Amino acid sequence: MAVTIRLQRFGARKSPFYRVVATDSRNKRDGEFLELLGTYDPLKKPAAVQLKTDRIAYWQGVGAQTSDTVASLLRRHARTGA
């Protein structure tokens, strides 16, 4: 089973809200997931990002791949020191 850390889209049309989840890469974008790892709200100024960095590190340690967007969120989160 290939685990991916990626975003799940929620919210109404033109007002997106995302969850960062660990899921099997074969699942649909908004399908079932293994663990909720954080949230991302791009509409707030500045964008609100809440991540469980210890759990993300665990999943990456056991071989999970991050999507490009989640990787950029992790870099931005590490840079701000939040």
CATH number for 16: 3.30.1320.10
At 1, the pLDDT band (50, 70, 90 cuts) reads low
- The tally of domains found in the chain comes to 1
The answer to whether position 20 is within a domain reads: yes
What's the domain range around 51? 3-69
Q: Is the pLDDT assigned to residue 82 strictly greater than 90?
A: no
List strands edge to edge, sheet with 3-12: 48-51, 35-41, 15-24, 3-12, 65-66
Question: pTM, whole model, 2 decimals?
Answer: 0.89
Q: What is the pLDDT of residues 14-49, one digit of tens each?
A: 999 999 999 998 888 888 889 999 999 999 998 899
H or E segment to which residue 67 belongs: none
Average pLDDT, the chain: 92
Residue 29 CB: number of other CB atoms within 10 A?
A: 10
On whether residue 34 sits in a domain, the answer given is yes
In a domain, 79, yes or no: no
